[in-house]
Every structure is written in C-alpha cells, then in structure tokens.
Amino acid sequence: MPTVAQHYRTVPARAAAGAPPAAAPVVLMVSGGADSTALLVMACTSRLDIGDGRGTARVARERLHVLHVNHHLRGDASDGDERYVRELCDRFGLPLCVEHADFSDLGGSNLEAAAREVRYAAARRYVRELSEKLGTPRSAARILTAHTASDRTETFFMNAIRGSGPAGLSSIPRRRNIIVRPLIERTHEDLCRYLEVAGIPWREDESNGDISYLRNFVRHRVVPKARERNPELERAIGSTCDILGEEDAFMAHLAASALRACTLRTDEGLMVIDASRLASAELALARRMVRLAHKRLAPDARIEMRHVEQVLACVASGSGSLSLPGGVDARMEFGALAFRTPCARERLVAAWLGVPASIPLANQAMLVSELVRVPSGTNPVALALDDRGAADGSVAYIDAAALGYAVHDPSHLRGADATIPADVRSARLWVDAPAPGDIMCPLGMSGRTKKLSDILNEAHVSVADRPSVPVVRTAPGGAVVWVAGIRLDDRFKCTPASRLLIKLAVRPLNRAPEDAAMG
C-alpha cells in the first residue's frame, strides 16, 4: 500500500543499497500471441519497469529467460505456437523452457482457471530452479506477464457480470509479489501496431472469436459498446482498478489486524475467534475477517459470499455450524467461532466441554465432566482425595466458584431436590493441546507460576506425545485449569469452603458413561 508521498512522487526511484542483484532471473511468460511477443521484443530492445527499484530501465540480457507452456488444447495449432516461440527465442538469443500441460482431469475447475494455474505454477517452479542455480534470492527474481490495459478492462467487466467485491473489481494488479505486468498501461491494439511497425508476426488463437466464452463475449460485444460512450475506456477503467486495488489492500490490512486482535487460539488446522468482537466489527470488515480466517486454513479453496453470510448468521444467532469449501468446519458455540480443517478434527479434540458432558480424546479415552454437590458436613478436600482416580492423576475436582460460576446461597445446595443455579448449569470448559508460552500455577507451589513445557518435561512426556495431552482451560487461550492426568492448577482447587465441584476424569473409551452427552 503506497503512502501519499510514494504515490505522488515525481522523481523515479534509482538503484540504491539493497537493490536486487543484477543477475537475478527475469522470466518472460510467452504464449506466442501479440501481447507476449511484444513483451519479449520490448524486454530485449526497450526500457521496462519491472518493479526492481530502478524505474523504467533496460533489463540486462543475461537476466532474461523465456517460459512457454504448451497446453495441447488446440492440436497442431498448439505445437505451432511452441515452434514459433522457439524460433523467436533463437532470433533474440534467449534461453527457453517449455512445459507441457495435461488437462485430462480438471479437478472441478473450469478450463481457463486450470490453465492459468498451470502456467503460474510452471513459472514459480522455473524461477525457483533458476534462483538456486544462480545463487540469487528468489525475492529478487521477476516473472513478467504480458497483461495489458485491454485485459484489465475485460476482467473488470467479467467480474462485474459474475458479481464481485472490490478485490475482483480491482481486476489485474500491476504487481503481486514477484509477478510484474509492465505492459498494463498499453492496449492490445497498441502492441499489435508496435509489432507491425517492427515487422514481427505473431500467432493468433482462433478460439478468440468464440463468444460462448465470457472473456470473448466481453471483448467483442461489451467493450466496443462501452467504448462508444468513452473512447478512453481502458484508461478510465485502469484508474478505477488502481483506486479499488489500493483501497482493497488497505481494507485487507485492517481486516488482518482486526483478526489478530480477536483470535483466541490458533494451531495447525485450527482458528478460534472471539465471536463478540467479530459481531461488533463493521460488516464490511467482518466479512473480510471470515474470508481471511478461512483462507489461512484452506488457501487453495474459494469461499463464496453465501458462505460468509452463513458464518456471520451463526455468529449473530450465537450457535450453529456449517461446512465450508476446502473441508473447513465452522462452528459457533459459547461465544467463540471455531474453524477446523479435517486434519485438526482428527487430532486431539479442540472444543468446548459442557458440564455434565464428555468428549473423545486422541488416545482412545474420554474426558468426562460432572457436577458434584458437597454433602452437608463433608470436607470437600477429603472427598476429592478419597477418589481412587485422584491418586493416579486421572481425576480432578474443580471449585465451580473459582471458575466464576458463583454459588451465592449455599442453601440452594441442601437436600436431594436442590436446584443448581443457572450460571452453574451453563458451566463449560475449553479443551485443547499445549501451546507455546502456556503457563500455570501448579498445585502445591503456593501460587508461583511455571511453564507448561517444564511441567511436561518433569512428567517425562516426549515432544512427540505432547500434542495429544489434553489441556483444560477456562476458555480458548484462557487460563490452564488442568493438564489432564498430570497437574491441577492451584487457583481452581477445591477448598474447605467449596460447595459445588466440577469433577473431571479421563476414562478409557469403554468406561465412558453411555448416557454422557457429547460436548
């Protein structure tokens, strides 16, 4: 995102300390059509801005490499494109890499999207190989595509017809990471005239006239009509795309910051968000936060607006779940929105544990919770110590009041028909795995804190086994209550004054109560 000073500067940036090494590869993506042929010729004979801090300048010939992808979609014509590009590279003395694509299995993608992904994957692979061979950082390399102002205009209208937000309407960006489009200001007609003057032919794709394809429909039917109203259509749409792109980048930055601020827990394949903070965000920002959370877990899957609206509807109602593209599960409960991938669901459960309830653990066991009333005249501490499971650490008794579920009137707990206060009936705990930086106040250490990693070391739990150790917390990212089977936190122990306890127990799967409700 440029600042005002950067956007309106009038002096071109010059090479400075830290500029990319001169030998870093510049890969030209050349299909043989007019636009990419012009790109190759200009790269060899003219000045281009390739986004390396030097402004518009000549590119050293030794940096140039050409990539051609033969998609084999047009039979002999595709092979003719490859031969033409080979001849062109021989003429200008440029090294050429040819990749061959197979589209027998599209995997649910449309052909255009699949072909585009193949081309960019090949370009990234080629850049990686060249950078390793030359010993230059990959970030100093460049991938140049021949996208023009005409392409940008067509993409703008295509996305508008399909329905799109600012990201889609900003169309083709001038640059994305190492991918640069130095011809984005020129139209297709400009480049055709350039080649005609230079006496250089190019290849034509006969399918470009088929208006059953959306791009061709826009190119031959929509754009000419729009140009009748504005002869400078490409320039006008290009300016609009730049504005939308810059504002979209700014909103993306705000959304990323907001998502970080309300994230309660992250792990491989897991993200838990504070739903109240998400619900209080501006709608435009909340939509982006949902999209970003999903993208971090399933970067190759495309989430649609209907999915975003369904997630936000669950947040607004306070409950609900749905399946999202990429196998991501979104679940809203107890004030937290959790996104999980299939692999995260297969590992140690990360979920709310109600009281009473049970949840399965990764080691063929169940974590079971139940409410225990302390009978009148009984010492709660003695009751806990008398439990046989307490000796081997598989059982822990927690003071409900210490968790914030206060019992204000002990008389409520007298007699067999005693009612449980509403706040205690809604008691819940969060269960997940150890996380970096976890600390607790181990029972018996008089309130002193200790790293959970040190406690696991002392318990001789191997690093490989630690992800399967259940950690019971007050909330996602909250205080550690109990490291199941290992250590109780001193702040939540039962005391002689305790009147209502929450009993937690790790039991073999075949011993779990049949009537226990799943959390």
Tokens standing for residue 321: 């779940």
Rounded Cα–Cα distance for residues 55 and 49 (Å): 5
Q: Say whether 415 sits in a helix, a strand or coil.
A: coil
Rounded Cα–Cα distance for residues 382 and 501 (Å): 13
Span 432-445, average pLDDT: 91
What is the SS3 string spanning 33-101? CHHHHHHHHHHHHCCEECCCCCCEECCCHHHEEEEEEECCCCCHHHHHHHHHHHHHHHHHCCCEEEEEC
Cβ-based neighbour number of residue 486 at 10 Å: 18
Q: How confident is the model at residue 324 (pLDDT cuts 50, 70, 90)?
A: very high
Domain 268-345 has CATH 1.20.1070.10: no
CB 290 within 8 A of CB 275: no
Q: What is the pLDDT of residue 479?
A: 94
Q: What is the pLDDT of residue 249?
A: 92
CB 22 within 8 A of CB 54: no
| CATH architecture for segment(s) 21-243 | 3-Layer(aba) Sandwich (3.40)
Domains 21-243 and 348-511 share a fold: no
Rounded Cα–Cα distance for residues 158 and 241 (Å): 13
Inform me whether the pLDDT recorded for 248 exceeds 50: yes
Domain ranges of the chain: 21-243, 268-345, 348-511
Rounded Cα–Cα distance for residues 160 and 153 (Å): 11
C-alpha to C-alpha distances, 239 to 230, 244, 419, nearest whole angstrom: 14, 9, 68
Counting Cα atoms < 13 Å in the Cβ hemisphere of 333 gives 18
Q: What is the pLDDT of residue 361?
A: 82
Span 287-294, average pLDDT: 95
What own/partner pairs with CB < 8 Å and gap ≥ 24 does 341-347 have? 341/269, 341/270, 341/297, 341/298, 342/269, 343/268, 343/269, 344/267, 344/268, 344/269, 344/270, 345/269, 347/269, 347/433, 347/467, 347/468
Rounded Cα–Cα distance for residues 169 and 426 (Å): 46
Rounded Cα–Cα distance for residues 514 and 368 (Å): 11
- Helix (H) / strand (E) containing 149: helix 149-162
Span 459-475, average pLDDT: 85
Counting Cα atoms < 13 Å in the Cβ hemisphere of 213 gives 15
Rounded Cα–Cα distance for residues 350 and 429 (Å): 11
Residue matched to tokens 């990539």: 67
Length of the chain: 519
Strands 175-176 and 270-274: unpaired
Q: Where are the alpha helices (DSSP H) in 322-439?
A: 342-346, 380-386, 388-392, 422-425
Inform me whether the pLDDT recorded for 414 exceeds 50: no
Q: How confident is the model at residue 108 (pLDDT cuts 50, 70, 90)?
A: low
Percent of the chain residues past pLDDT 70, beyond the cut = 86
Q: What is the pLDDT of residue 116?
A: 87
- Helix (H) / strand (E) containing 333: strand 328-333
What's the fold here for domain 348-511?
A: Phenylalanyl-tRNA Synthetase; Chain B, domain 3 (3.50.40)
Condensed to tens digits (0 to 9), the pLDDT of residues 340-376 reads 888 766 666 678 898 889 888 866 788 999 998 888 8
Inform me whether the pLDDT recorded for 148 exceeds 90: yes
Q: Which residues pair with 265 in a beta bridge?
A: 272
Where b means 16+ CB within 10 Å and e means fewer, 310-322 reads bbbebbeeeebee
